[in-house]
Amino acid sequence: RWPSLLKYYSHTDGVSWLEEYKARHNAGLEAQRIVASFSKRFFSEHVPCDGFSDIETLGCPSHFFEDELMCILNMEGRKGLTWKYYAKKILYFLRQQNILKNLKEYLQRPTDQQSFLEGAVLIDQYCNPLSDICLKSVQAQVDDITDKVRKVLRTKNPRHPSLASKAGEVLVPEVELQRQVLDAMNCVLYEQLKYKGNELDYYNSLNSYIHQVLIRRTGIPISLSVLYLTIARQLGVKLEPVNFPSHFLLRWCQGKEGSTDIFDYTYIDAFGKGKQLTVKECEYLIGHHVTEEFYGVVTSKEVLQRMVGNLLNLGKRESTDQSYQLLRDSLDLYLAMYPDNVQHLMLQARLYFHLGIWPEKVLDILQHIQALDPSQHGAVGYLVQHTLEHIERRKEEVGPEVKHRSDEKHKEVCFSIGLIMKHKRYGYNCVIYGWDPACMMGHEWIRNMNVHSLPHGPHQPFYNVLVEDGSCRYAAQENLEHNSEPREIPHPDIGRYFSEFAGTHYLANTELELRYPEDLELTCATVQKIYSSGKE
């Protein structure tokens, strides 16, 4: 019944299976209770930072609880969308908390016990907590590439010391023998397996995730360097990471080990098919001269800092993801490594403030910034004032407005909750999750969106819609029309508002239906009228 739990048991363990079954069953009931409560508690707002407090004090084994959440997420069909939505949020939180704990333990180890590959996997796991990524599986794939390199090496030099030793136990002493290893690596990685730098889609976040680098066989300089360095070290060749500006490199010592002379090293470009470079060629690579300090070796923590920094920059660039999830995740990672970095703490506070979420946490961050750097009092004071105002407004909010279609002021509203629409002008597909009898946005928004140029201007119904590209928009009635070929809308918030996709329309969940109690009947009547000649 629960095959994914097999990994938690050994064949030699004496286990009371009745007790295990009871524990798993009870954990399932607890998970279902909590998931069911989330929609009612958090429908009107983002799940607050303290919203997971009852999950952190679970009275059942966490792996059983997670397994039930996975069962909910893997439910077949188009039902249970709201349960899936909140199960995903809870699972995301639980796994990230666990990964963050593992990262902090990793950073506390002695430097020589911090594997570059393990660090890259931790970053990958944190940004993709719902994917099945584990160090064991990534290491197995790297070992497979290493075995392929050994086969090539064996044909060139059957007596090579890398063939006799196990995973990097013995360092290959001679430079010429090391060169043979690197040549065999280049043959396997770039000729046989066709690994390459992703020049065409350089700014895709997948290039930074080590499990995706192994699947897609492409990446950016730093992710390919981590792979290259790991394989080389398993074969007895000590390469070191170099935090070169704009283009991460590796260095290979040609002189006395530990030399501080940058000319005693050859520099390797894993992004450029393992090309070996001189100091002068490294400068040609980036187009300008750099000082000697940029050729020095860096620690595993500094490598992770650069990897996370890349993701931070990508998170800032993303315009379609309105939740800024990548930026939030990369900020969490950066502050786990450097918890007192004022610049990134301020960015995190501004981000949460911009998103209108977690005002209490914003105040905590601002208090921490003020203690670290009193010179920030101007920016801190501004954010504190506006955050306190936000908290006060939230306290004053009355219950949600219930909109009855039978009200005289709503007589012009033609469309209803759950209908799948098409935008006449921009052609996007969307689903309605809210409506107003007239435009409720401020004058600035109305001016910026040029609403007055519409024939009916702002004095017509406007609809909140979830769009297939992942965005949320506010569309005028005259710009929307029924979609002749309705299909599911792949929006991350679909489950927040709807419980089921019924083939031609969405069914509002309990919380949304309470706010629009008369819409369901109209939606069903509209769908029957429009699609009766086709599918039900």
- Taking only the tens place, the pLDDT of each residue in 479-533 is 999 998 899 999 989 999 999 999 999 999 999 999 999 998 888 888 888 876 5
Residue 534: is its pLDDT beyond 90?
no
- Whether the predicted pLDDT of 536 surpasses 60: no
Residue 399 CA to residue 522 CA, distance in Å, equals 24
* Cα separation, 308 vs 198, whole angstroms: 18
Question: Model-level pTM greater than 0.85?
Answer: yes
Residue 524, phi then psi, degrees to nearest 5: -65, -40
What CA–CA distance (Å, rounded) separates 488 from 351? 31
* Nearest CA-CA partner of 488 in 507, 515, 516: 507
Q: For residues 51, 52, 53 and 56, what is the CA-based torsion angle, rounded to 10 degrees?
A: 180
pLDDT digit string (tens) for 247-273? 999 999 988 888 889 999 999 999 999
| Rounded Cα gap, residues 479 and 454, in angstroms | 9
In sign, the C-alpha dihedral spanning 233, 239, 242, 246 is negative
List, for residues 168-220, the tens digit of each pLDDT value: 667 888 899 999 999 999 999 999 999 999 999 999 999 999 999 999 999 99
- Residues 108-151 pLDDT 10s: 999 989 999 999 999 999 999 999 899 999 999 999 999 999 99
> Where is pLDDT greater, at 50 or 124?
124
- Rounded to an integer, what distance in angstroms lies between the CA atom of residue 228 and that of residue 250? 9
Lowest mean pLDDT among 180-189, 311-320, 383-392: 311-320
Please return the burial class of 136, using the count of CB atoms within 10 Å of its CB with bins 0-12, 13-18 and 19+. exposed
Closest-CA residue to 504 (of 525, 485, 529, 519): 485
Segments making up each domain of the chain, as ranges: 17-108, 135-304, 339-397, 408-532
Tell me the per-residue pLDDT of 267-285, one tens digit each, with 9 for 90 and over. 999 999 999 999 999 999 9
Point out which residues pair with 100 in neighbouring strands.
none
CATH 2.30.30.390 fits 408-532, yes or no: yes
Whether the predicted pLDDT of 535 surpasses 50? no
Whole-number pLDDT of residue 533 = 55
Average of per-residue pLDDT values in the chain: 90
How long is the chain? Answer: 536
pLDDT band of 49, cuts 50, 70, 90: low
CA distance 183 to 186: 5
